[in-house]
Amino acid sequence: MRHLAIALLITSLITAPTAQACTAFRLVAKDGGVVYGRTMEFGFDVKSDVVVVPAGTEISGSLPTGGKGITYKTKYGMVGATAVGLPVIVDGINDHGLAVGLLYFPGYASYPEATPENKSRAMAPHELGNWILGNFTTVEEVKAALKDVVLVPVMVEAIKQPAPVHFIVYERSGRSIVIEPLDKTLKSFDNPLGVLTNSPNFEWHTTNLRNYLNLMAKNAPAVDLNGMKLTQFGQGSGMLGLPGDATPPSRFVRAVAYSQSAIPAETNKDAVLKAFHILNAFDIPVGAVREEHEGELHTDYTVWSSVADLNDLTWSFKTYNDQSIRTIDLRQALDAANGQVRHIAMDSKQPIENISTRFK
């Protein structure tokens, strides 16, 4: 019976829709600069573009019926990545250095139904990033205002369901919170580690860290056993046991280990490059994470990675097809947009430079 139960569990995992695997973390430079890095994984190309949204843009939330929910004008300009053709920022920053990221949260996200009583403050889950960046400058402001909005189950055609997501928010000081739609209510959690992945919920992940108290950046010292001295084979013995798979719990532990052990960069600009190096540890190539669902092969991969500099107000990225780092300066982009919502293509082809005769 036990073997049958395990077999049924394995079968359910294999036949379930592909799970998206995003990872987010924060670094603080010696000069106090704060950067936030994250990956965007999906089982298909989410067709992201960069969107530039000026202050004063009118935005309306969506309802399951197709009508309008909450309506507001943005107080702050913002820039970030869209997804699946929707006019939303799934990851980005505003002109006061507030950043937000939407990460997949399957099996745990729950939303109340839209009603005549709540529709004036309702929006789709995937629209919360716009509302946060457009209206607030600190995580404390965001926390205080969560009672004023409600997320309702609006269908996203690309995934055939309302987006099951939770959110990580950073401010310029480095403070961070996680927002999760649990039990049909928005709940916020202070996030001193600045890390988030996917399901289970945030509190579960922080509890799970207790299983890894032995991890350390320093190599393990030699051990003497009755005169026999045992030494490490090579570098990295302090991190022996660090989980390397692509599951959300393992990525959460790995993101904490790498971000907390990173030697602080001298400046925020240096921290941007350091963050991209850490992001390499979470890069998933096509084929490494896959499953069959309803006769189709699904393979999660890192569609893009991004780093937001909350001091210089830049949002930088690289994509699966082009590992070159490209950056958007928020101030320059807003000036060039001239009060209009504008888009910048993210997809491009990786240049490979031939330097065969470029001798020193």
Residues catalogued as catalytic: 22
Residue 134 one-letter amino acid: G
* CA 261 to each of CA 67, 108, 215, 231, 324: distance values in angstroms, whole numbers, following the listed order: 48, 30, 10, 23, 26
Residue in 349, 299, 345 with CA at minimum distance from that of residue 323: 349
Nearest to 77, CA basis, from 51, 102, 103, 101 = 51
Which one-letter amino acid corresponds to residue 240?
L
Q: Are strands 86-94 and 165-170 parallel, antiparallel or unpaired?
A: unpaired
Measured CA distances, 75 to 96, 231, 337 (Å): 10, 59, 16
Token output for 355:
């330097």
Q: State how far the Cα of 335 lies from the Cα of 190, in Å rounded to an integer.
A: 34
Residue 227: phi, psi to the nearest 5? 90, -10
